[in-house]
Structure 1
Amino acid sequence: MEYTHLGRTGLKVSRLVLGTMNFGPETDEATAHSIMDAAHGYGINFFDTANVYGWGENRGRTEEIIGNWFATGGGRREKTVLATKLYGDMSDWPNDGRLSALNIRRALDASLKRLQTDYIDLYQFHHVDRETPWEEIWQAIEVAVAQGKILYAGSSNFAGWHIAHAQAAAAQRNFTGLVSEQSIYNLLTRSVELEVLPAAQHYGLGVIPWSPLHGGLLGGVLRKERDGSRRNKTRAADALTAHRDQIEQYEAFAEELGHEPGDIALAWLLHQPAVTAPIVGPRTHEQLDAAIRALDVKLDEKALTRLDEIFPGHRTAPEDYAW
């Protein structure tokens, strides 16, 4: 396993992040525990979750599964760089969501209880809160840091100007501010290249891409469609229809390179200078094993250029749309 620093911090994390969103809804607890053990076996030390995972009436269930795994001992917590998130509503009652100082305090304590730990390494804002001033947010986070309940703060799904606003407010308080941004980023969805990635690089944030296979469309979907191992739901079917020509070229190129399409998609992200580590969210051991293969895929300039031809990206704004 390769390791790198998370943004401008001294914290070393694996080049792949274990995403846990499927733990509970798709993967039972025993299998989830064995997948987490296998991730440690591969050297993955960076785990990502969120307080809302489990969804609906089961919100918080994923954190509970991870907490039960930590409770089995064996240095599992100590070996894990633990990231979770807050923002989503945990109930229908007022102040049980978003980024008010009250919810930050309550949500953090609730996550710590479910996770059966006394601190979280990376506490992330799952979405920008347009109704809460950054002075309030940072004051609450500073208190949590002083209490030893969190070490670092990160964002998720922020625009470039949101990152700039957050960092300016933190600088006024002589506070570290954000150290990471978690965004959707893959060969098919590259809009973050316009402003989010440049902002992250400027402020020293590590970028953590989610949905690196774009819901499976970059994981050999056409071959799976032909052999009957995948049935696309309406949303996935519509996306495949819109991008079928690109996907056909992409899968043919992956075959030419001698790699699985999903391996190419992950490897491409690992070749992007702003990226710390993409999130892989396995439901099964086989999916985790497949993700590990991407670490051995090396793409030369010719291959990277061909991928840009199939899936055109963006230059930094405003150069992308101006002279």
Structure 2
Amino acid sequence: MEYTQLGRTGLKVSRLVLGTMNFGPQTEEADSHAIMDAALEAGVNFVDTANVYGQSAGKGRTEEILGAWFAQGGGRREKTVLATKVYGDMLPDGSPEWPNYGRLSALNIRRAVDASLQRLRTDHIDIYQFHHVDRLTPFDEIWQAVDVLVQQGKILYAGSSNFPGYKIAQANETAARRGSTFGLVSEQCLYNLAERRAEMDVIPAAQEYGVGVIAWSPLYGGMLGGVLKKEHKGGRRTGGHGARLLNDPAVRGRVQAYEDLLDKHGIEPGEAALAWLLTRPGITGPIVGPRTREQLDSALRAIDLDLPEEVREGLDEIFPGPGPSPEAFAW
């Protein structure tokens, strides 16, 4: 396994981040634990979750699965850099609406971190991430809450997710003005071969402020994982966002060209998409969310995959990025 510093911190994390969103709704607890054991054995020390993960299994269920894994001991918690998120409404499904059970008020942050710690069966969270921008809560209030949690030893660092570049700047400038502990150290953003808009704004801002970038949806809902080859073989078809994108003939044509290029070089599409992300400036690593052990094994192979120059050039031709900012939209 390869490791890197998380942004400007002294924290070393694996280049692959184990995402857990499927644990609970799609992957049973025992299988989830087996995947986590295999990832840890392979050297993956960075695990990402969120308080709302669990979907059909119930909000918070994924954190509970992680907590049960940590409770098995064997150094599982000590070896893991644990990241979770706060923002989503945590009222139980079917409960009447009630204020302050979501977003980033100081009240909800305090409530949410204690609930996550209980579900995760740990005394601290390594990276506590804001799952989305809260346009109603000023950063002064957010950092006041974070500073208290750091002083209490409940969290070590703060990160963001789905922030535009100007919000990364605003958050860190506010933290610096307040003399807050550290500001944002990481940003999770949508970034992959087919969706490269983050190159215009988010990634440059993160690099400027020493914020590590973690790419979510590296296979773009399965679209970059060999979906057309699987369709031809009668295998599992991609669903959701990936399926909707493939309804566009132009998108489908690019995906076919992508799969043809990689087939020519004997490279699996999903592994190529991850390996490409590992070459990108400013990227700490992609989040992989395996439902099965086989999917984890495929992701791990991407670490050692060196994409030939011809393949990298071909990928840029098929999925060109927007170009540097501001030249991408100005002179």
What TM-score range do you get, normalising by the shorter chain?
Answer: over 0.9
- State the alpha-carbon separation in 2 of the partners of residues 234 and 19 from structure 1: 18
Map 1:56-135 → 2, pairs under 5 A: 58-91=58-91, 92-135=97-140
Judged with a 3 Å threshold, the aligned counterparts in structure 2 of structure 1 residues 258 and 104 are, in CA distance, closer, same or farther, namely same
8 Å contact from structure 2 (residues 101, 108) kept in 1: yes
Judged with a 3 Å threshold, the aligned counterparts in structure 2 of structure 1 residues 124 and 234 are, in CA distance, closer, same or farther, namely closer
Map 1:100-179 → 2, pairs under 5 A: 100-175=105-180, 176-179=182-185
Gaps of at least 5 residues in structure 2 are: 92-96
- The alpha carbon displacement at 1:235 in A equals 4.2
Aligned partner of 2:175: which letter?
Answer: A
Aligned partner of 2:127: which letter?
Answer: L
- State the alpha-carbon separation in 1 of the partners of residues 11 and 271 from structure 2: 26
Map 1:140-219 → 2, pairs under 5 A: 140-175=145-180, 176-219=182-225
Matched, 1:314 2:322: yes
Judged with a 3 Å threshold, the aligned counterparts in structure 2 of structure 1 residues 221 and 57 are, in CA distance, closer, same or farther, namely closer
Q: Which residue of 2 aligns with 1:23?
A: 23
- The alpha carbon displacement at 1:234 in A equals 6.0
- The alpha carbon displacement at 1:305 in A equals 2.0
Judged with a 3 Å threshold, the aligned counterparts in structure 2 of structure 1 residues 54 and 139 are, in CA distance, closer, same or farther, namely same
Please state whether the residue corresponding to 1:152 is helix, strand or coil: strand
- The alpha carbon displacement at 1:278 in A equals 0.3
- The alpha carbon displacement at 1:107 in A equals 0.1
Please state whether the residue corresponding to 1:222 is helix, strand or coil: helix
Gaps of at least 5 residues in structure 1 are: none
Aligned partner of 1:189: which letter?
Answer: E
- State the alpha-carbon separation in 1 of the partners of residues 263 and 56 from structure 2: 40
Q: Which residue of 1 aligns with 2:94?
A: none
- State the alpha-carbon separation in 2 of the partners of residues 235 and 82 from structure 1: 28
- State the alpha-carbon separation in 2 of the partners of residues 301 and 219 from structure 1: 21
- The alpha carbon displacement at 1:128 in A equals 0.4
Provide Cα deviations, 1:29-79, integer angstroms capped at 9, x if missing partner. Answer: 000011100000110000000000002670000000000110011010000
Please state whether the residue corresponding to 2:172 is helix, strand or coil: helix
Please state whether the residue corresponding to 2:90 is helix, strand or coil: coil
Scaled by the length of structure 1, what TM-score is found? 0.98
- State the alpha-carbon separation in 2 of the partners of residues 219 and 235 from structure 1: 14
Q: Which residue of 1 aligns with 2:48?
A: 48
Please state whether the residue corresponding to 2:44 is helix, strand or coil: coil
Identity of aligned residues (%): 66
- State the alpha-carbon separation in 2 of the partners of residues 304 and 134 from structure 1: 40
Q: Choose 228-237 or 182-191, whichever is displaced more.
A: 228-237
Provide Cα deviations, 1:90-137, integer angstroms capped at 9, x if missing partner. Answer: 013210000000000000000000000000000000000000000000
- State the alpha-carbon separation in 1 of the partners of residues 19 and 101 from structure 2: 24
- State the alpha-carbon separation in 2 of the partners of residues 315 and 284 from structure 1: 36
- State the alpha-carbon separation in 1 of the partners of residues 207 and 83 from structure 2: 20
Please state whether the residue corresponding to 1:306 is helix, strand or coil: helix
